């Protein structure tokens, strides 16, 4: 597992975590925002009207309503990225990461508008009578670059596991075990059966389920978040200001948090923002292609709402809960995951400014005198005897460390090579920072509901993540349909459900790293296709305002939106 994790980290290092990737993602969004005249602002009100059914055409081709298409797409984006992803972004980059999540969402509103419009325009009816669309279709039919469509479709299948499947159930399992003591294998088993029952019904059943789940889970989560924010109301303004204060400087060390550079906060914020709202990834256009609409631009307008709801509303609530509660700088007792720990030579303390600076440089990849530990740790009754090392757990100095095997104190020697323990049967526990869904869960206990707040996260995470897995199964089967035809859909769904089950007991860090890599493998081909069709996109929008029945019949508000 460690070898797999190292491989994924190396890939992520040249893809999503590389310095160039956030600039490419934001650059495309900024280009289209200026090129199309800020559509995320000009068409925002009209988007709500379309979702409400004001401009519906009942005989338009498609499988779902505007609202159902939006709900399906939202169910694919409002998931662990809003709960675990925000927790991971703040854990890695501090408050500044949230600012760059916002920027990704604002520019991503335009990117969504473009990719959904083009995908809806070039959708087609499959041999089973359903609609199929997505970036692979405009790459094939508009650009005559089938090879690029094939790359995107293959990446979509991989990403359906790495983004929509495995991280979702993994976070659910971790949360359900921490909150209710339910074994991950039990959680995975039950949810896999439910997942199979839903996705075998195709887009009609998926749309019905998601259009019910999305509103219910959103209300529950918002109420729980507000209970924490109002409980810590005195910390709200300082927390909000820290997001802006650190945006261009990086976040300073505080508590157990050892600090983060601007580059790291920027990169992690954009990366987690993409994981949250998927703008530019090309996934949501697959759901929107099923909508009943004659006008591709009208469905593109609907998609503008996704990053707004997903990131600017839901992720902001999560971020304010974490920041105002203060849990992100505190160490909590937990069981360390192997991928999260590293032994270093010498004794370091986060109460020393000199030590904190050295550790900060080490964790951010700068020049440092810190070296990985190689040697043997002598352990007696669960505690280390020699103290010639420091254990870094979750990017913080671990405290009160205990070593156990099957729940009993361990005695013996633990060999460490290049900072990693070789005997993985020895469990290592102690106090450290925490991240992902575990951090958000802890933050929700600091409100009016007290310890019961964790149930809001667990139930919300269950609904969010499960609905995301449902939506991504549809994305994957449309990619399979494009590549191999509809006869292979059932085979794909069987593998999808199996992967869902396996991921419930997999290492969390490995799963998140797989997600980070697979996202980029979809995003890059999609962004290339969007840029190549920029002129056509602008002409398509102009044609909409010139020929739309609403405009023709004197819709003054529509005319105003285009002015």
pLDDT tens for each residue of 232-271: 999 999 999 999 988 888 888 888 898 888 877 887 787 7
Side-chain-side CA neighbours of 123 within 13 Å: the count stands at: 30
pLDDT at residue 63, as a whole number: 61
pLDDT at residue 511, as a whole number: 67
Report yes or no: 392 and 359 within 8 Å, Cβ to Cβ. Answer: yes
In this prediction, residues 203-213 reach a mean pLDDT of 78
Residue 487 lies in a domain: yes
pLDDT at residue 180, as a whole number: 83
Q: Where does the pLDDT of residue 464 fall: very low under 50, low under 70, confident under 90, or very high at 90 and above?
A: confident
pLDDT at residue 556, as a whole number: 47
pLDDT at residue 551, as a whole number: 57
CA distances to 90, 109, 150, 308 from 278, rounded to whole Å, are 19, 10, 20, 12
Residue 437 lies in a domain: no
In this prediction, residues 159-184 reach a mean pLDDT of 81
* Pair (256, 360) in one structural domain: no
Q: How many CB atoms lie within 10 A of CB 556?
A: 8
**Closest to 84 (Cα-Cα) out of 182, 170, 192, 179:** 170
Residue 314 DSSP one-character state: I
In this prediction, residues 156-180 reach a mean pLDDT of 81
Distance CA(295)–CA(52), nearest Å, equals 16
Q: Within 122-201, where are the H helices? A: 135-141, 146-162, 166-180, 184-199
Q: What is the mean pLDDT of the chain?
A: 87
CA angle 193, 199, 203 (to 5 degrees): 160
Q: Is the pLDDT of residue 480 over 90?
A: yes
Q: Is the pLDDT of residue 561 over 60?
A: no
pLDDT at residue 284, as a whole number: 87
Distance CA(339)–CA(494), nearest Å, equals 30
Distance CA(121)–CA(541), nearest Å, equals 11
* Pair (113, 242) in one structural domain: yes
How big, in percent rounded to 5, are the helix, strand and coil portions of the chain? 65, 10, 25
* Pair (275, 343) in one structural domain: no
Report yes or no: 458 and 179 within 8 Å, Cβ to Cβ. Answer: yes
Distance CA(478)–CA(153), nearest Å, equals 8
pLDDT at residue 80, as a whole number: 66
Torsion of the alpha carbons at 221, 222, 223 and 225, rounded to the nearest 10: 80
* Pair (374, 341) in one structural domain: yes
Provide, rounded to the nearest whole percent, the portion of the chain with pLDDT above 70.
93
Q: Computed from CA positions of residues 141, 142, 147, 151, in that sequence, does the dihedral angle turn out positive or negative? A: negative
Provide, rounded to the nearest whole percent, the portion of the chain with pLDDT above 90.
45
CATH label of the domain that carries residue 7: 1.20.1740
Residue 303 lies in a domain: yes
Residue that finishes a domain, picked among 413, 432, 451:
432
Q: Where does the pLDDT of residue 57 fall: very low under 50, low under 70, confident under 90, or very high at 90 and above?
A: low
**Closest to 322 (Cα-Cα) out of 267, 391, 251, 261:** 251
CA angle 54, 56, 59 (to 5 degrees): 160
In this prediction, residues 504-514 reach a mean pLDDT of 71
Residue that finishes a domain, picked among 432, 458, 489:
432
Distance CA(413)–CA(131), nearest Å, equals 61
State which residues form the domain around 386.
332-432
13, two tokens? 């290092």
Residue 453 lies in a domain: yes
Residue 225 lies in a domain: yes
pLDDT at residue 555, as a whole number: 52
Residue 438 lies in a domain: no
Q: Is the pLDDT of residue 79 over 70?
A: no
pLDDT at residue 163, as a whole number: 77
The residues facing 251 across adjacent strands are 260
pLDDT at residue 505, as a whole number: 81
* Pair (21, 133) in one structural domain: yes
Q: Is the pLDDT of residue 535 over 90?
A: yes
Distance CA(32)–CA(540), nearest Å, equals 14
Q: Is the pLDDT of residue 118 over 60?
A: yes
333, two tokens? 């007792």
Report yes or no: 293 and 167 within 8 Å, Cβ to Cβ. Answer: no
Q: Between 443 and 424, name the one with better pLDDT.
A: 443
Q: Is the pLDDT of residue 432 over 90?
A: yes
Q: What are the φ/ψ torsions at residue 384 (nearest 5 degrees)?
A: -75, 135
170, two tokens? 């993994």
CB crowding 224-236: b at 16 or more within 10 Å, else e: bbebbbebbeebe
Number of domains in the chain: 2
* Pair (322, 193) in one structural domain: yes
Residue 133 DSSP SS3: coil
pLDDT at residue 275, as a whole number: 64
CA distances to 88, 416, 417, 421 from 372, rounded to whole Å, are 24, 9, 8, 12
Q: Computed from CA positions of residues 252, 256, 260, 266, in that sequence, does the dihedral angle turn out positive or negative? A: negative
CA distances to 48, 239, 395 from 319, rounded to whole Å, are 25, 9, 19
pLDDT at residue 328, as a whole number: 95
Distance CA(336)–CA(521), nearest Å, equals 30
* Pair (240, 146) in one structural domain: yes
pLDDT at residue 241, as a whole number: 93
Q: Between 53 and 559, name the one with better pLDDT.
A: 53
Q: Is this structure's pTM higher than 0.75?
A: yes
* Pair (269, 356) in one structural domain: no
Report yes or no: 275 and 162 within 8 Å, Cβ to Cβ. Answer: no
CA distances to 42, 410, 559 from 563, rounded to whole Å, are 9, 72, 6
Residue that finishes a domain, picked among 398, 432, 466:
432
* End-to-end CA separation in angstroms for the chain: 56
**Closest to 126 (Cα-Cα) out of 299, 298, 289:** 289
Q: Are strands 399-405 and 131-132 parallel, antiparallel or unpaired?
A: unpaired
Residue 31 DSSP SS3: helix
pLDDT at residue 459, as a whole number: 85
* Pair (131, 201) in one structural domain: yes
pLDDT at residue 550, as a whole number: 60
* Pair (295, 347) in one structural domain: no
For 7-36, write each residue's pLDDT tens digit.
887 888 888 777 788 888 889 999 999 999
* Pair (344, 483) in one structural domain: no
For 293-340, write each residue's pLDDT tens digit.
888 999 999 999 988 988 889 889 999 999 999 999 999 999 998 889
Q: Where does the pLDDT of residue 554 fall: very low under 50, low under 70, confident under 90, or very high at 90 and above?
A: very low
* Pair (283, 374) in one structural domain: no
């Amino acid at each position: 597992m460690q070898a797999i994790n190292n491989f994924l980290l190396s890939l992520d290092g040249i893809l999503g975590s590389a310095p160039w990737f956030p600039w490419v993602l934001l650059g495309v969004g900024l280009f289209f925002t200026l090129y199309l005249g800020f559509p995320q602002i000009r068409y925002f009100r009209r988007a709500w009207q379309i979702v409400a059914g004001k401009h519906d055409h009942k005989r338009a081709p498609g499988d779902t309503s505007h609202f159902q298409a939006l709900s399906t797409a939202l169910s694919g984006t409002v998931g662990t990225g809003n709960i675990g992803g925000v927790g991971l972004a703040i854990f890695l980059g501090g408050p500044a990461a949230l600012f760059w999540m916002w920027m990704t969402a604002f520019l991503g509103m335009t990117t969504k508008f473009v990719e959904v419009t083009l995908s809806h325009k070039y959708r087609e009816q499959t041999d089973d009578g359903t609609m199929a669309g997505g970036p692979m279709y405009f790459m094939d039919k508009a650009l005559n670059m089938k090879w690029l469509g094939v790359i995107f479709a293959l990446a979509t299948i991989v990403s359906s596991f790495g983004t929509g499947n495995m991280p979702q159930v993994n976070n659910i399992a971790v949360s359900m075990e921490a909150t209710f003591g339910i074994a991950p294998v039990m959680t995975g088993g039950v949810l896999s059966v439910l997942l199979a029952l839903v996705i075998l019904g195709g887009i009609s059943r998926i749309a019905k389920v998601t259009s019910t789940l999305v509103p219910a889970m959103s209300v529950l989560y918002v109420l729980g978040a507000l209970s924490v924010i109002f409980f810590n109301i005195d910390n709200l303004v300082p927390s909000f200001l820290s997001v802006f204060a650190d945006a261009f400087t990086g976040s300073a060390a505080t508590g157990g948090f050892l600090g983060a550079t601007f580059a790291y906060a920027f990169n992690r914020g954009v990366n987690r923002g993409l994981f949250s709202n998927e703008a530019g990834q090309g996934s949501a256009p697959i759901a929107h292609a099923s909508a009943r609409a004659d006008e591709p631009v009208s469905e593109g307008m609907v998609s503008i709402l996704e990053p707004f709801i997903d990131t600017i509303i839901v992720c902001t609530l999560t971020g304010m809960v974490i920041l105002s509660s203060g849990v992100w700088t505190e160490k909590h007792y937990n069981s360390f995951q192997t991928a999260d720990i590293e032994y270093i030579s010498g004794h370091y303390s986060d109460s020393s400014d000199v030590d904190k600076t050295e550790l900060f440089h080490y964790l951010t990849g700068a020049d440092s005198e810190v070296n990985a530990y190689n040697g043997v740790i002598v352990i007696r009754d669960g505690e280390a005897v020699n103290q010639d090392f420091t254990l870094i757990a979750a990017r913080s100095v671990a405290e009160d460390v205990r070593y156990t095997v099957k729940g009993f104190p361990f005695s013996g020697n633990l060999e460490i090579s290049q900072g990693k323990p070789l005997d993985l049967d020895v469990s290592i526990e102690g106090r450290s920072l925490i991240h992902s869904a575990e951090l958000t869960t802890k933050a929700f206990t600091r409100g009016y509901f007290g310890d019961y707040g964790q149930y809001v996260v667990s139930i919300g995470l269950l609904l969010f993540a499960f609905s995301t897995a449902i939506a991504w199964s549809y994305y994957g089967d449309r990619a399979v349909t494009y590549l191999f035809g509809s006869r292979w859909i059932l085979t794909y769904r069987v593998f999808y459900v199996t992967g869902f089950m396996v991921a419930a007991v997999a290492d969390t860090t490995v799963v998140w790293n797989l997600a980070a890599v697979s996202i980029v493998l979809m995003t890059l081909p999609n962004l290339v296709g969007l840029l190549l069709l920029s002129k056509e996109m602008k002409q398509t929008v102009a044609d909409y305002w010139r020929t739309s029945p609403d405009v023709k019949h004197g819709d003054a508000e529509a005319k105003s939106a285009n002015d």
